[in-house]
Structure 1
Amino acid sequence: MEPTCSFEERDAQPTLSIHTSAAVQDLPGIFGEAFGAVMQYLGQLGEHPASMPYAAYRNMDLQDLDVEIGFPVARPLPGEGRIQPGEIPGGQWATLLHVGPYDQIHAGWEALTAAIAATGRTIAGPAYEFYLDGPETPPERIRTLLGHPVV
């Protein structure tokens, strides 16, 4: 079954995240460390993530990705050191649910980008991946919600 693109209005969501640059092949280790650091900090604050972790990609240079890695939180929280407060923007979004291994996610991005263009909309922000399943999930069943703010 082909993945389907959805267009929806989303509320802004406060976040805590780590911003870094990395080559795509280094992301698994960087993600694990960043997610762990943010979770530890949330624990120090007596807080919990509001939903699943995410990454926001501000460019697509696979050897030097500009990426924000973190968690949505229920309310704005203070940052500390490299863990900074931020926000996933509200407004109109295009999303697509990719099911399968991360090394096949490019097909989902191609489908989402084509659907955005086909409707005459324009991408208006970073590429977001919302990781709906944990690392124990078999690769063929991993669900990743892909999304872009659009206008």
Structure 2
Amino acid sequence: MTPEIVEHPDRPYVGVRRTITMTSFGLVGDRIAELVGWLAERGAGLAGAPFLRYHSIDMAADRLDVEAGVPVAAPVEGEGDIRSGVLPAGRYATVTHHGHPDRLVGVTDELLKWAAGQGLRWDMTESGGAEHWGCRLELYPTDPRVQPDPAEWDVVLEFRLV
């Protein structure tokens, strides 16, 4: 599990954004399947792995601004609380975790420490005890319909660098 730096172009997506707590993640995460179905109804396919995007994290207040999203090949107009957006181009530090998503806290810690050791800076600002991220992603390339055991999933972390 060695992190690396990758360059990404702008990536269009559709998503649903909510402010949640650590115990109400399902309000966002459970919407991924709905987004995939919504796109299928419109004849738009996925252009990559579904993801969770962390806009802001305030662990002390147990408050997270998170978006569930699905990349698309070309922009798709949103509807209701489904909105279209773009993951910004840039350099991202990335690492892949194989195993249950509940182990991501440790993997995230390792990525943050690795970047600090490399002298890298995140596209992130802090204010009022919260971290505000330019683009911090957890991508889920494993299809749970094909592999229902979360212990066998791959999860890719991608955090945008300055």
Same fold per TM (> 0.5)? Answer: yes
Look up the SS of the partner of 2:58 in the other structure: coil
Select the structure that is richer in helix. Answer: 1
Alignment of 1:140 onto 2:151: yes
Residues 28 and 67, structure 2, Cα contact 8 Å, conserved in 1: no
Give 1:25 shift.
2.1
Identity %: 27
Alignment of 1:48 onto 2:59: no
Q: How many residues align?
A: 148
- Counterpart of 1:46 in structure 2: which amino acid? G
Q: Which runs of 5+ in 1 are unaligned?
A: none
CA displacement, residues 28-87 of structure 1 (integer Å, 9 cap, x when unaligned)? 35312x113312321232111111100101222353210010100001111111110101
Give 1:7 shift.
0.6
Alignment of 1:98 onto 2:109: no
CA RMSD of aligned residues (A): 1.5
Q: How does the TM-score come out when normalised to structure 2?
A: 0.84
Q: How does the TM-score come out when normalised to structure 1?
A: 0.90
- Counterpart of 1:8 in structure 2: which amino acid? V
**What is the match of residue 14 of structure 2?**
16
The structure-2 alpha-carbon separation of the partners of 1:61 and 1:90, relative to structure 1 and needing over 3 Å to count, comes to same
Residues 14 and 74, structure 1, Cα contact 8 Å, conserved in 2: yes
Look up the SS of the partner of 1:40 in the other structure: helix
Q: Distance in 2 between matches of 1:49 and 1:74?
A: 7
Q: Distance in 2 between matches of 1:27 and 1:18?
A: 13
**20-29 vs 50-59, greater mean Cα deviation:** 20-29
